[in-house]
Amino acid sequence: MGADSLINLHTHTTFSDGDFTPEQIILTAEANHLTHIGISDHLMTSKCNSLLETELEHYIDIVRELQNDYPRVEVLVGVEVDTNPKRCDLSRLPVDLLNQLDYVLFEYVEMDEGTSLDDLEPLLSKLDVPCGLAHNDIEKNFGPWPPDSVANHISSFGVFVEINTAWPYKRDGQMYWEKAERYYQEFHGKVLVSVGTDVHHSLAEVYNLDNAYRFLRRTNLLGDLVI
């Protein structure tokens, strides 16, 4: 799947810390010929304004209803989960509602402030929907291992890995995914990938996908997209 798709699965709206409504984002995606647009607001974290558990069902309904108005782009609904235990209690997440989503993003996985894949496994095992690592600094977080071992390790958890183009996700002036190109090359056939721009404050970010797609072509991963 995925060879002809143009996807962006990482966007935030007024349901959390974004400036635009889901409708503004979906409209922009359709107008710019994306095949899939995912809304992925923050959930139950003290890090920023985020969805409460009691709001999650309404959020899912609102985003799903928008599909009717924008038939030329496939609308997906997800959330982004903060794996820092001081800010988000993973044990309290509403698993049944999460399983009504199209996907779940996890941020800060394998970082000091976050949770390891091993510690995330009990939650991952309860989720039937695709789960992904958002803006992960693969080289730094998994780096001591060679690329093929990293690919096999991540593959064993069944999670996809996101190519996130937002400016904060850089180290030494280079995007995390650019630094980890040799790891991504090993993902082919093992680990699915997604693309996200972490839209918050600019609608132009909805369709700012050229660099990510160039990278997908270079690493032979166009056929390994999660969607």
Nearer to Zn ion, 13 or 147 (CB): 13
Interaction between residue 74 and Zn ion (CB under 5 A): no
Contact positions with Zn ion (CB under 5 A) in 183-202: 198
Nearer to Zn ion, 39 or 151 (CB): 39
Residue with tokens 């850089």: 170
Residue nearest to Zn ion (CB): 198
Interaction between residue 205 and Zn ion (CB under 5 A): no
Determine the interface stretch with Zn ion among 13-21, 57-65, 76-84, 183-191 (rule: CB under 5 A). Answer: 76-84
Answer for the pair 205, 164: CB distance below 8 angstroms, yes or no: no
Determine the interface stretch with Zn ion among 25-33, 78-86, 140-148, 174-182 (rule: CB under 5 A). Answer: 78-86
- Tell me the number of residues near Zn ion by CB under 5 A: 2
CA torsion sign, 126 to 130 to 160 to 94? negative
Under the rule (CB under 5 A), what is the footprint of Zn ion? Answer: 80, 198
